[in-house]
Amino acid sequence: MAIQGIIGKIIGGTQYFQEDGTADAVTAVQAGPCTVTQIKTIENDGYESIQLGFEPSTRANAPQKGHFEKSGGQPFRYVRELSADDFQGIELGSQVDVGIFETGEKVDVTGTSKGKGFQGGVKRYNFRGGPKTHGQSDRHRAPGSIGAGSTPGRVIKGMRMAGRMGGERVTVKNLEIVMADVDRNLLLLKGAVPGHRNGLLLIRKSTRKR
């Protein structure tokens, strides 16, 4: 099976000790098992992809139940599409687990970053803030100038200012797989991934060329 990724959930951060005694900061991820719920083709859908279902659900309406009937009838809470480099041998209802990955392989991880609410420019964009002496009493965390006067006479679009931070789709590329445990559906990824505990992740084989 040549599916290029899997769906998972964040378990949490921990340490992994290598044989030489060095410790790596890793993120433990429950990856799969996933079920192939639909195979999209150019003839029927205009493009090619594999639809995977993750985490069985007991709550599904009639259209959702009808959609999952072809793959075995089990509804899933999460459904995502992934690419495949070879569609031969991929069948509806077949299982996908962490066996598609190998230790040392690089992956791209996509998730939703933690929401931070409304934040100022110092936290949101790492502004250095204003001077704290020479008569400045209220400019410590202010943004500074946000534009010219007469021309253009307005604040241009895209100006970095205070606002809602986080809660966005983020992809972290080239994370190394420290361990892939098929028996426990467990992946240990070196470094941090976007999102909170139990946050949904899409883990795909890295597309970056070495």
In a domain, 210, yes or no: no
Q: Do residues 27 and 83 share a domain?
A: yes
Is residue 94, in this structure, part of any structural domain at all? yes
Q: Are residues 92 and 44 in the same domain?
A: yes
Res 123: pLDDT: 96
Please check whether residues 199 and 99 belong to one and the same domain.
yes
124 and 68 share one domain: no
Q: For residues 173-196, give the mean pLDDT.
A: 92
In this predicted structure, the answer to whether residue 127 has a pLDDT above a threshold of 70 is yes
Stretch 191-198: mean pLDDT, rounded? Answer: 93
> Are residues 179 and 88 part of one domain?
yes
- Residue 109 and residue 23 share a domain: yes
Average pLDDT over every residue of 94-111: 89
Cis upstream peptide for 152 (omega within 30°): yes
Q: Averaged over 107-128, what is the pLDDT?
A: 95
Q: Are residues 127 and 92 in the same domain?
A: no
**Does 129 share its domain with 100?**
no
Give yes or no for residue 21 having a pLDDT over 90: no
Q: List CB contacts of 25: < 8 A, sequence separation 6 or more.
A: 13, 15, 190, 191, 192
> Are residues 121 and 57 located together in one domain of the fold?
no
Residue 46 lies in a domain: yes
CATH number for the domain spanning 79: value is: 2.40.30.10
What does the pLDDT average to over 54-69?
Answer: 87
Question: By residue range, what is the domain housing residue 43?
Answer: 5-114+169-205
Q: Are residues 52 and 9 in the same domain?
A: yes
pLDDT digits (tens, 9 = 90+) for 35-58: 888 888 888 888 888 889 998 888
Question: Is residue 177, in this structure, part of any structural domain at all?
Answer: yes
Q: Are 189 and 10 in contact (CB under 8 A)?
A: no
Alpha carbon distances (Å) from 18 to 26, 30, 43, 175, 191: 12, 21, 49, 17, 15
Residue 61 pLDDT level (bands cut at 50, 70, 90)? confident
Answer yes or no: is 25 within a domain. Answer: yes
Is 155 among the domain residues?
A: yes
Q: Is the pLDDT of residue 1 over 80?
A: no
How many domains, the chain? 2
Same domain, 160 and 100: no
Q: Do 75 and 104 fall into the same domain? A: yes
101 within 8 A of 42, measured Cβ to Cβ = no
